[in-house]
Amino acid sequence: MSEHVLKIEHLTMQFGGVVAVDDFSMFINKGEIVALIGPNGAGKTTAFNAVTGVYTPTSGSISLLGEKITGKRPDQITKLGIARTFQNIRLFSSMTVFENVLTAHHLRKTSNIFTATLRLNAAEERRMREDTAALLRQVDLYDLRDEMATSLPYGKQRLLEIVRALATRPKLLLLDEPAAGMNPQETDELAEFIRQIRDVFNLSIFIIEHHMNLVMEISDRIYVIEFGKQIAEGVPSEIQNNEAVIAAYLGGDDL
């Protein structure tokens, strides 16, 4: 049986009288691309925020490779091996492509104010710059390294945000609507890019997405929630033909 990279058990997230996520359980195996879909307001981003430590669940547990991460801070969770992107691009606008990725490498630096003062961290800084250059070459963005991040075409900015997340060396990558705002060509390139990084970096990927063609093309399995509750789980063909999903969200003409 495959090892669960992520396991969510009976997750409930309540805000006052509103239950945003209601007794939700799921898992992701090593190397899987798993999608979470549902109508706007279904609780998808709330679930992401619970996994990444933005919210502490009202009840339930979340584990990464068997280690409970429920209640840990976002920075602790990132260091344990979870990285995410956001629906709205959050690149550093005043930095180049290279600098945006380099900042993520600093998450794992071992230097401190003492070693920095004595310039004992020069070797580590050099290694991080080398790692940044190597990563940009791997994803074919090295030629754009000196460009300002916000000067890139929209689709490239999306890819750069994913690459910056990769620089933290995650075991699990969370993508929050990565195809938002993309044209069909950019979406096709994104699908290929996601598959590529899954294979090259030995990743598991958890994705929220409204673009159903993308979801059905790249997902190994799909979970569907409505009003915070799970209504379906299965491979794409099962989800496409699930009457409850069609009635609640997808619609017969969308698949």
Tokens linked to 91: 């690149």
How far is the C-alpha of 105 from the C-alpha of 125, rounded, in Å? 9
Mean of pLDDT values over 172-182: 94
Mind listing the pLDDT tens digit for each residue in 46-75?
Answer: 999 999 999 999 999 999 999 999 999 999
Mean of pLDDT values over 225-246: 93
Tokens linked to 42: 């279904």
Q: Which CATH architecture has domain 1-81+170-255?
A: 3-Layer(aba) Sandwich (3.40)
Give the residue extent of every domain in the chain: 1-81+170-255, 92-169
Residues 6+ apart with CB under 8 A from 170: 78, 81, 82, 83, 203
Mean of pLDDT values over 215-244: 94
Q: pLDDT-derived band of residue 88, with 50, 70 and 90 as boundaries?
A: confident
Task: Answer for the pair 108, 116: CB distance below 8 angstroms, yes or no.
Answer: no
Mind listing the pLDDT tens digit for each residue in 141-165?
Answer: 999 999 999 999 999 999 999 999 9
What percentage of the chain reaches a pLDDT higher than 70?
A: 91
